[in-house]
Chains A and B, each alone.
Chain A
């Protein structure tokens, strides 16, 4: 069964460094998303992406964040200058169409020291 994959599974970085989290959505899906979950808190929406541009973003998704689909399969989330409070589990998801079931990847645990 097709699934969303994410790499790396765990990333440790120092404050102020740039990180890129990678995702491969399900191949025939058109909508891609990033969410994050800070330990002990709710899963929060960050951004959605369709037709090579951002379709929605939350207040969390400020200028430090960017997303890109560099080729036909990968979808990336870049954090330009990491802060301690960026430590969280980051989930990528995809859906076939708008308003449809979203399928989540296994997540990347980001630890900022």
Chain B
């Protein structure tokens, strides 16, 4: 069974600092990995999808890397802003099915 872990569970950073969020998973047989953003009481907004054959994916200030063999992904958010305050979820799509396995999230607070 795929287990997804996100460290740290919570962090606070001053505005302007770069954010580094870590995700690890136990089974490297995956289709892809998605990073989501979740605001309190709200839905999940897809940020980036990395296919299993890719090493990284970028969108604006966001960059996600994937090291499938070691079961790790990192989400970098450059020059953080207060609007980046949210919970960031990592989800892995195992090879052969579509049931995303989620981590518990990294809860981020960016201090103005």
Contacts and interface: CB of A to CB of B under 8 A. Distances in A.
Interface of A: 31, 33, 35, 41-45, 48, 55-56, 58, 89, 91, 95, 98-107, 109
Given A104-B36, A104-B45, 6 more contacts: A56-B98, A101-B49, A102-B34, A104-B44, A104-B46, A106-B43
Given A99-B32, A99-B93, A101-B34, A33 B98 contact: yes
B45 to A, nearest CB: 8
Contacts of A109: 41
B102 A42 contact: yes
A48 B99 contact: yes
B31 interface: yes
Most A-side CB within 10 Å, residue of B32, B98, B99: B98
Contacts of B102: 42-44
A30 to B, nearest CB: 11
B98 A55 contact: yes
Size bin of chain B's contact surface? 20 to 34
Contacts of B41: 89, 109
A77 B93 CA distance: 22
A101 B91 CA distance: 11
Given A42-B103, A42-B104, A43-B91, A91 B44 contact: yes
B79 interface: no
